[in-house]
Amino acid sequence: MKSLATVLVFALAPALSLAAERITPIADAKRGSIVTVQGTVERITDEDEFRLADASGSIRVYVGPNWVPASEGESVTVHGFVDDDLGPRELYARTLTRADGSVATFERRYDW
């Protein structure tokens, strides 16, 4: 179950997107923050999840309930919210930009 803070961040994400253009190294992506990270798709772990890596580390990226719109080995930029739960860090993607400039936007649906 996702926290209320997660839901609120995604509701406010469009208004905050202008401030998120700065690229954050994956190792510096803090829980509970909105970040833009850039790296290579290391592996696709599920239909709606993949592992993204840069020189500083890697992070699991969730795009559900959508399909991963990239391939292993592809360079992408992801903007989203770093989950604040106790488990492994996970980035809930709001947008994914491919090297060719195409952008995938992910809608969120939460069960209350």
What gap in Å lies between CA 5 and CA 9, rounded to an integer? 6
What pLDDT shows up at residue 107?
80
Closest CA to 36 of 3, 81, 5: 81
What's the pTM value of the predicted model, to 2 decimals? 0.78
**Per-10-residue mean pLDDT for the chain, 112 residues long?**
46 45 94 97 97 98 94 98 92 96 82 38
**First-to-last CA distance in the chain?**
9
Domain map (residue ranges) of the chain = 4-105
What pLDDT shows up at residue 1?
43
What pLDDT shows up at residue 3?
52
What pLDDT shows up at residue 109?
53
What secondary structure does DSSP assign to the chain, as a single string? ---HHHHHHHHHHHHHGGGG-SBPPGGG--TT-EEEEEEEEEEEEETTEEEEEETTEEEEEE-TTSPP-S-TT-EEEEEEEE--SSSS-EEEEEEEEETTS-EEE-------
Pick the CATH number of 4-105 from 3.10.180.10, 3.40.50.360, 2.40.50.200, 3.40.50.12780: 2.40.50.200
Residue 68 tokens read as 């991963």
